[in-house]
Amino acid sequence: MTIISEIVANYNQWITIFLMVSGLYIVVARGNMVKKLVGLSLFQTSVYLLYTSPGKILGGTPPILDPDFTVYSNPLPHVLILTAIVVGVATLALGLALVVRINEEYGTIEEDEIFPEKDGE
Amino acid sequence: MVLLTLMAAVTVGVVRQRNLFGVVILGGIYSFMMASVLMVLDAVDVAMTEASVGAGISTVLMLSVLYLTKSRESVPHHTPLLPLVVSVITAGVLVYGTLDLPPFGAADNPVHLNTAPRYLEKSIEETGVPNVVTSVLSSYRGYDTLGETTVVFTAGIGVLLLLRGRRRKRKARPARPERGSAK
């Protein structure tokens, strides 16, 4: 019984960790650059979950002030994550532009095909 | 909880799928589910931003890059054993770290005791905005947002510079074969 309650209590965090680690795995293990960027954004989105889940108060409402409610969830993580989402899409756009340029220069977006070419020169 | 499990399932799909088109669409589904989870966690502003930016703009950007490149991922030559081991060890350490965290959703967690109550109390009085996320974002932490816009501006300049050089090059040397195809 204690094991089940432990699992329920930490489920958010564990899913966050799973998402984060699979993003890390994709970034390290896969050679395709678009796939790498998808992994990177997976990692980023897991961080959103990591920040917002401690901000939730059970029985609370979203932090929009109203005389009918007294318990609000924490607004501070939401603000930080709003910033993080916008910065995330900016870095994603920059990375994709780099991928397009690499494809233009080497004719491929696979790491395995780019590096042997460099050795052969 | 069901949503979180579905998100994990989609992630497994992203890891295993080799068709990049499928990967991008799964990424869009993942973003929408993330937005619903954020909604459940009371972060409505973040959920709206994630649904429009994460599921909308990111997917469109990815698809346009796939249009310009190839949409098929080749099988990597090296074994994925070492990254797998590193990832599993990282996950183990992080799960060990979660065991000491305060309980989920309790109002007296240390996160809720320091700055947030002050924002909630004084927001109407000092800024006149009932949505506390807005007032913190643009009033109390305005410099943060200024930094954010600087980052976005820099990224925009970078993208423009990278893609402009590409167009000029193509115009100057249209007949030059690309290295990959010449080999």
Residue B126 and residue B116: Cα distance in Å, rounded? 15
Confidence at residue B173, expressed as pLDDT on a 0 to 100 scale: 47
| Residues linked to residue A72 through DSSP beta bridges, in sequence order | A61
Confidence at residue A117, expressed as pLDDT on a 0 to 100 scale: 57
Burial category of B173 from C-beta neighbours within 10 Å (exposed 0-12, middle 13-18, buried 19 and up): exposed
Q: Which residues of B touch A105 (CB under 8 A)?
A: 178-179
> Residue B181 is encoded by which pair of tokens?
């195809």
Interface test mutation site (partner B, options A65, A102, A117, max chain B beta carbons within 10 A): A65
Convert B110-124 to b/e letters by CB count within 10 Å (16 or more is b). ebbeeebeebbeebe
Q: Which residue of A has its CA nearest to B147?
A: A83
Say which range, A76-80, B11-15, B24-28, has the weakest mean pLDDT.
Answer: B11-15
- ipTM (interface predicted TM): 0.80
**Any chain B CB within 8 A of the CB of A115?**
no
Rounded average pLDDT over B123-145: 77
Interface test mutation site (partner A, options B16, B36, B48, B69, max chain A beta carbons within 10 A): B69
Confidence at residue A118, expressed as pLDDT on a 0 to 100 scale: 56
Q: Which of residues 38-67 of A touch B (CB under 8 A)?
A: 38-39, 41-42, 45, 48-49, 52-58, 60-66
**Any chain B CB within 8 A of the CB of A35?**
yes
Measured in angstroms, the CA of B150 and the nearest CA of chain A are apart by 10
Residue A111 and residue A32: Cα distance in Å, rounded? 6
Interface test mutation site (partner A, options B3, B17, B58, B72, max chain A beta carbons within 10 A): B58
Residue A58 and residue B21: Cα distance in Å, rounded? 39
Interface test mutation site (partner B, options A6, A30, A76, max chain B beta carbons within 10 A): A76
**Any chain A CB within 8 A of the CB of B47?**
no
Q: Give the closest residue to A10 by CA, choosing from B113, B94, B134.
A: B94
Q: Where is pLDDT greater, at B125 or B95?
A: B95
Q: Which residues of A touch B74 (CB under 8 A)?
A: 31-32, 110, 112-113
User: What is the residue-level pLDDT of chain A in tens, covering all 121 positions?
Assistant: 566 766 666 777 778 888 888 888 888 887 788 888 888 888 888 888 888 887 777 777 777 777 777 777 778 888 888 888 888 888 888 988 888 888 888 777 777 777 775 554 4
Confidence at residue B177, expressed as pLDDT on a 0 to 100 scale: 42
**Any chain B CB within 8 A of the CB of A97?**
yes
Q: Do B107 and A60 touch (CB under 8 A)?
A: yes
| CB-CB contact of A57 with A72 (8 Å) | yes
Q: Do A56 and B112 touch (CB under 8 A)?
A: no
Confidence at residue A16, expressed as pLDDT on a 0 to 100 scale: 82
Say which range, A87-91, A115-119, B61-65, B172-176, has the weakest mean pLDDT.
Answer: B172-176
* Domain CATH for A50: 1.10.287.3510
For residue A71, what are the domain limits? 2-120
Helix (H, G, I), strand (E, B) or coil at A49: helix
In chain A, the number of structural domains is 1
Q: Do A86 and B152 touch (CB under 8 A)?
A: yes
Q: Which residues of B touch A76 (CB under 8 A)?
A: 115-116, 119, 136
